[in-house]
Amino acid sequence: MNLNKALLDSGIWLAQAYLITIALSAATIWSLAKFTIWGRQFWNLTAVYFLPRRDWRPLGTLLLILFLTLCAVRLDVLLSEWSNTMYTSLQKQDSAGFWAAMVLFAILATVHVLRVLIEFYVQQAFTIRWRVWLNEDLLGRWLARQTYYRTQYLDNPIDNPDQRIQQDVATFVEMSLVLSMGVVNALVSTFAFTLILWTLSGPLSALGIELPRGMVFLVFAYVIIATVFAVKIGRPLIMLNFLNERFNADYRYALVRLREYSESIAFYAGEKVEGALLRNRFAHVISNAWAIVYRSIKFQGFNLSVSQAAVVFPFIIQAQRFFSNQISLGDLMQTAQAFGRLQDNLSFFRTAYDSFATYRATLDRLNGFTRAIAESRELPEPVIRAQGPRLAVEQLTIRTPAGGLLIDNLALDVLPDAPLLIQGPSGSGKTTLLRAIAGLWPYCDGTIIRPEENVLFLSQKPYLPLGSLRDALYYPQRLPGQVTALHADIHQQQKTSVDSAHGAPINLDALPVAHNGELETPVGGGGRAEEVLHLVQMGHLVGKLDQVTDWGRILSLGEQQRLAFGRLLLAAPVAAFLDEATSAMDEGLEDALYRLVREQLPHTRLVSVGHRSTLSRHHARQLILKGKGTGAWALANVS
Ligand SMILES: Nc1ncnc2c1ncn2[C@@H]1O[C@H](COP(=O)(O)OP(=O)(O)OP(=O)(O)O)[C@@H](O)[C@H]1O
């Protein structure tokens, strides 16, 4: 084996193989996208990312990874030739040849190590960037037009969207690369090693028939038959892997709910019921895990047997030619290696079948997710118009998802000096009317006129975001220092993790966890927040404004409702909707807070929903929904 010649040949080989592989890959991707379901799913999900018009780098990096993969195949071929040279020098007792082979190996091994490291970096960078893009794409679509909320109205709402965004995206990106490059490697290697085996293999005779280059045909037949059986045995793994993801996510979700509603459950002493539910969900996980184990035993058992038999196969076939001096020891060893490589390469499709099963399950889940997003866009949307600060509805008819009439042909105009109180029996559609005005309720006709921005909806149980009390007060506005604080937090966590990783042992539970522990985030916001806290009679919490903790658990419902009034004062919206926003307060407090709002926000158009008669004194007009499926309503001045 001559180094200069090897270099030149390798250069030519790489150039040819690169061009052919690119052409074949493009044709294959096109065919898969056109003729297979999963190819189409892949295309729909991510083709945009690779458009050079959008950004040339993803495709450029992919081409670089392809090149590095081909380099790996070429190196394998060179190592195979090297092994022939080395064994032949041993057989001939050629000491100079042997040492030359050692030097050659040092060069090849160095190139190999460098190639592996470069490939690792490029592949990792590629998957991380791809994941960032896909995550942003799905997250953006999920958040846009309140899809995360509206998908609940679909006939078939999707399960565990959080898992699809967080876990499935990562799995999809990683496996796409591993599988596609695996296929390229396997196919190109197959081609390269078939050529090697072709030159080394002699005729094969069986049953009086002589088959020239018999070994090449044998290995192909061997692997193809094995693959057909393996696919048959492995097929159920696709469904089992799909179910595995789903059952695990369902179990995790039930555990999260236990945490979220821990207090209510504890008051009910509902551990037994919850325990039964959790155990039931876990039982699904486990029975599916066993099904995967049994199926995998069959699948892997078959694969391992096929691979083991392949170890001695080439020796048995070539032994006769070696003993009759038709081939050298180097030839024999290279044949065995080439056969092994060819067998491995062709077997890639067989052994990677279970990975492919997981991959298809992931693709299915991600496509289900994007399909749900698209379907939720198809849901009807009420017409919402903006006419300055005007707040009104015209010919508004609201129905339940099942088609029952809630409100028929409603018309009203809310003025700043005439706050509106909506009352009516439970289930008559009071909250649904607010949902419709917010644009969240798909089942309504008519026109809604409201300001495009600066409208605030307060519900009975105010939402407190993860973060500090100040964040909760300003929600959903962003604080000036918020982004910086968040980044500082991530860097702090990373630094602590890395620092602890250098020393041992690491107690991961002791790492600062934002939003659970007692982290202080210094953020701006001026003194208005402090003032507002005093106004809503929560002055005792001024010192804790920047404390990050789970405020939703610490504050009583009444305090949370007072905090929401603080939010209202800070936001000073053009229109505000209060849905039983004082239900947990005593009447004195309710009175004080309503007076405060009227005093501080005289220009805000106010709409309240509530059952209490004491609310009437703060409102000039009253809308009464009659309920009982009639859709009837009455609008009157409060006497
Ligand atoms: N997502 C939904 N799917 C199906 N039906 C719903 C949905 N949301 C509300 N409804 C139904 O619409 C009707 C009106 O509900 P809504 O919450 O508006 O009543 P409400 O007048 O605010 O009642 P309450 O005084 O008890 O709060 C109810 O019959 C309710 O079951």
Report the alpha-carbon distance of residue 284 to residue 250 in Å, rounded.
Answer: 10
Per-residue pLDDT at 127: 94
| Same structural domain, 269 and 292 | yes
Cα 164 to ligand 1 centre (Å) = 29
pLDDT for 508 beyond 60: no
Same domain, 332 and 372: yes
Domain boundary among 320, 351, 378: 378
Element (H, E) at 364: helix 353-378
- Residue 422 forms part of a structural domain: yes
Residues 357 and 409 in one domain: no
User: Could you tell me if the CB of 430 is within 6 A of ligand 1?
Assistant: yes
Shared-domain flag, residues 438 and 362? no
510 lies in a domain? no
Beta pairing, strands 633-637 & 621-625: antiparallel
CA of 608 relative to ligand 1 center, distance in Å: 16
Q: The domain that contains 588 carries what CATH number? A: 3.40.50.300
What pLDDT score does 136 carry? 95
pLDDT tens profile 438-495: 888 889 889 999 998 889 998 888 888 878 898 888 887 765 555 444 445 555 555 5
Give pLDDT, residue 497.
Answer: 47
Same domain, 401 and 339: no
Query: Could you tell me if 190 and 281 lie in one domain?
Result: yes
pLDDT one-digit tens code per residue, 116-130: 999 999 999 999 999
Give the Å distance between the CA of 328 and the centre of ligand 1. Answer: 85
Looking at 349, 378, 407, the residue that finishes a domain is 378
Counting ligand 1 atoms within 8 A of each CB, the residue from 430, 460, 612 with the most, and so the one to mutate, is: 430
pLDDT tier, 211 (very low <50, low <70, confident <90, very high otherwise)? confident
| Shared-domain flag, residues 300 and 360 | yes
d(CA 570, CA 564): 10
Region for residue 396 given its phi and psi (left: phi exceeds 0; alpha: psi -120 to 50; beta: otherwise): beta
Model confidence pLDDT, tens digit, residues 389-446: 999 999 999 999 888 899 999 999 999 899 999 999 998 999 999 999 988 888 988 9
Q: What is the ipTM of this complex?
A: 0.94
Does the residue 254 lie in any domain?
A: yes
> Is 319 found in the same domain as 193?
yes
- Res 526: pLDDT: 55
Least confident of 328-337, 491-500, 581-590, 612-621: 491-500
Whether residue 332 is contained in a domain is answered as yes
For residue 240, how far is its CA from the centre of ligand 1 (angstroms)? 38
Same domain, 317 and 441: no
Using most ligand atoms within 8 A of CB, pick from 155, 406, 422, 431 the residue to mutate for ligand 1: 431
| Distance from residue 429's CA to the centre of ligand 1 (Å) | 6
Q: Using CA atoms of 244, 250, 251, 254 in order, give the dihedral in degrees to the nearest 10.
A: 180
Instruction: Report the b/e string of 392-405 with b at 16+ CB within 10 A.
Output: bbeebbbbeeeeee
Closest ligand 1 atom, CA of 434? 18
Q: What is the mean pLDDT of residues 81-97?
A: 90
Cα–Cα distance measured from residue 67 to residue 181, given in angstroms and rounded to the nearest whole number: 10
User: pTM for the full model?
Assistant: 0.76
Best mutation site among 405, 406, 432, 607 for ligand 1, i.e. most ligand atoms within 8 A of its Cβ? 432
**DSSP secondary structure of 221-243:** HHHHHHHHHHHHHHTHHHHHHHH
User: Looking at the domain assignment, is residue 348 inside a domain?
Assistant: yes
Expressed in angstroms and rounded, the spacing between residue 426 Cα and the centre of ligand 1 is 8
For the chain, first and last CA: distance in Å?
105
Q: In the listed set 348, 378, 408, which residue is the last one of a domain according to the structure?
A: 378
Give the sign of the dihedral formed by CA 230, CA 236, CA 239, CA 245: negative
Report CA(473)–ligand 1 centroid distance (Å).
28
Which has more pLDDT, 217 or 569?
569
**Same domain assignment for residues 350 and 438:** no
CA distances from 354 to 99, 179, 432 (A): 44, 11, 48
User: With a 6 A CB cut-off, is 401 part of the ligand 1 pocket?
Assistant: yes
Q: 236 CB under 6 A from ligand 1?
A: no
Tell whether ligand 1 has an atom less than 6 A from the beta carbon of residue 400. Answer: yes
Residues 404 and 263 placed together within one structural domain of the fold: no
Give yes or no for a contact between 590 and 582, defined as CB atoms under 8 angstroms apart: yes
Q: Is residue 239 part of a domain?
A: yes
The partner residues of 211 in beta bridges, in order of sequence, read 204
- Closest atom of ligand 1 to 401 CA is 4
Instruction: Find the 431 Cα to ligand 1 centroid distance in Å.
Output: 7
**How many Å lie between the centroid of ligand 1 and the Cα of residue 604?**
27
Strand partners, 289: none
pLDDT tier, 523 (very low <50, low <70, confident <90, very high otherwise): very low
Residues 259 and 403 grouped into a single domain: no
Cis check: omega of the bond before 476, within 30 degrees of 0: yes
Weakest mean pLDDT among 88-102, 238-252, 384-398, 564-578: 238-252
pLDDT higher than 50, residue 361: yes
The three-state secondary structure class of 497 is helix
| Residue bearing the CA closest to ligand 1, atom 26 | 426
Domain count, the chain: 2
Residue with the larger pLDDT of the pair 614 and 205: 614
In-domain check, residue 151:
yes
Cα separation of 501 and 491, whole Å?
15
The answer to whether position 542 is within a domain reads: yes
d(CA 517, CA 511): 10
CATH of the domain at 223: 1.20.1560.10
Is the confidence at residue 263, as pLDDT, over 80?
Answer: no
Question: Does the C-beta of 428 come closer than 6 Å to ligand 1?
Answer: yes
User: How far apart, in whole angstroms, are the C-alpha atoms of residue 184 and residue 345?
Assistant: 10
- Select from 399, 400, 407 the residue to mutate for testing ligand 1; criterion: most ligand atoms less than 8 Å from CB: 400
What is the pLDDT at residue 513? 43
Q: Which domain holds residue 471?
A: 393-478+528-637
Distance 430 CA to ligand 1 centre (A): 8
Q: Whose CA is nearest to atom 1 of ligand 1?
A: 153
Q: Which residues of 325-341 are buried (b: 16+ CB within 10 A; e: fewer)?
A: eebeebbbbbbbbbbbb
